[in-house]
A and B are shown apart, each in its own frame.
Chain A
Amino acid sequence: EAQVTQNPRYLITVTGKKLTVTCSQNMNHEYMSWYRQDPGLGLRQIYYSMNVEVTDKGDVPEGYKVSRKEKRNFPLILESPSPNQTSLYFCATGPGLAGYEQYFGPGTRLTVT
């Protein structure tokens, strides 16, 4: 079954404590991306990756890091989380270009206190 998985699904943490949200896909997609969703602001792209070792900034990359060491995984790293990073995070994957359908993961609800 084609899947995009994210872990954890829910996380409450404190300011400054490093955390990683994992994203994994089994569809052999080249393209992977992270978005955050905030009320009234829609979906905003954080980072994306066109292939292994190829990553680029989206519209709101500040405070986040990513890596793409394997095709199937694209973790999102918050080195020093702050309360303004409290949000709903979605990972998405696609066949190769943003011009094709993106398949979203189930989302990760992050709260930073």
Chain B
Amino acid sequence: GENVEQHPSTLSVQEGDSAVIKCTYSDSASNYFPWYKQELGKRPQLIIDIRSNVGEKKDQRIAVTLNKTAKHFSLHITETQPEDSAVYFCAASKVGGSNYKLTFGKGTLLTVNP
């Protein structure tokens, strides 16, 4: 089955700096890669996703890049703010087949220091 590795497990940055979280996946057939943000005591919420036919996607201060050859994808947050502090999860899935599993990485605790 799919295996998703996520690094780093913790990340501390100063407000205004950039943050990068990286994930690798094992199944070359995976074609959908979402990122979820989970604030303390809350439920996970989708913040951005990318499909395998796209190399990069941006939404304001958040961007995701995908390298299919290397089987890795990354989340980039620019101009970080204290409210960006949360646990971030990457995930990988095969869309369109009979397998609808979503495999998550183990998460990255991002702390943005004011």
Contacts and interface: CB of A to CB of B under 8 A. Distances in A.
Interface of A: 31, 33, 35, 40-45, 48, 50, 56, 58-59, 90, 97-99, 101-102, 104-107
B103 A107 contact: no
Interface residues of B, number: 25
6 contacts: A43-B44, A44-B104, A45-B103, A97-B95, A99-B95, A101-B49
B107 A99 contact: no
Contacts of A44: 104
A48 B101 CA distance: 8
Given A99-B32, A104-B43, A42 B89 contact: yes
A98 B100 contact: yes
Contacts of A35: 104
A48 B104 contact: no
A50 B104 CA distance: 19
B80 interface: no
A102 B46 contact: yes
B45 interface: yes
